[in-house]
Amino acid sequence: MTRRKRRRGKRSNAATLAAIGGCLLAVSAVVQVVREHPVIASLIALAALAGLTAWLYLRWARARQMAEHERNVAVTDHMTGPEFEQFVARLMRASGYRDVIVCGGSGDMGADVIGQSPCGRRVVVQCKRYRGTLGSPHVQRFAGTARDIHRADVALLVTTGRPTAQAREVALRCRIMLVDRPALAQWVSTQVLDLKH
Q: What is the pLDDT of residue 121?
A: 94
Answer with the one of 35, 58, 73 that is the final residue of a domain. Answer: 73
pLDDT score at 3 = 53
**Interatomic CA distance for residues 155 and 115, integer angstroms:** 11
**So what's the pLDDT on residue 184?**
92
Sign of the C-alpha dihedral, residues 76, 80, 81, 84? negative
CA 138 → CA 41, 127, 147, 176, 178, distances in Å? 59, 11, 15, 11, 11
What CATH number has the domain bearing residue 182? 3.40.1350.10
The reply to whether 137 and 183 lie within a common domain is: yes
- 123 and 41 together in one domain: no
pLDDT, tens digit, 9 for 90 and up, residues 69-112: 555 778 888 889 999 999 999 999 999 999 999 987 776 788 99
pLDDT reported for residue 162: 93
- Check residue 2 and give its pLDDT: 52
> What is the rounded distance in angstroms from the CA atom of residue 190 to the CA atom of residue 183?
10
| pLDDT tens-digit readout, 57-70 | 787 777 666 556 55
122's CB contacts (< 8 A; 6+ apart) are 114, 116, 151, 152, 153, 154
Low-confidence ranges of the chain (pLDDT < 50): none
Task: Please report whether residue 196 resides in a domain.
Answer: no
* Total-model pTM: 0.63
**Amino acid of residue 12:** S
Number of domains in the chain: 2
Note the pLDDT of residue 124.
Answer: 96
pLDDT (0 to 100) of residue 10: 62
Pick from 12, 43, 73: which residue ends a domain? 73
Domain extent, residue 33, equals 2-73
Question: What confidence score (pLDDT) does residue 63 get?
Answer: 63
Q: Which of 54, 73, 92 is the last residue of a domain?
A: 73
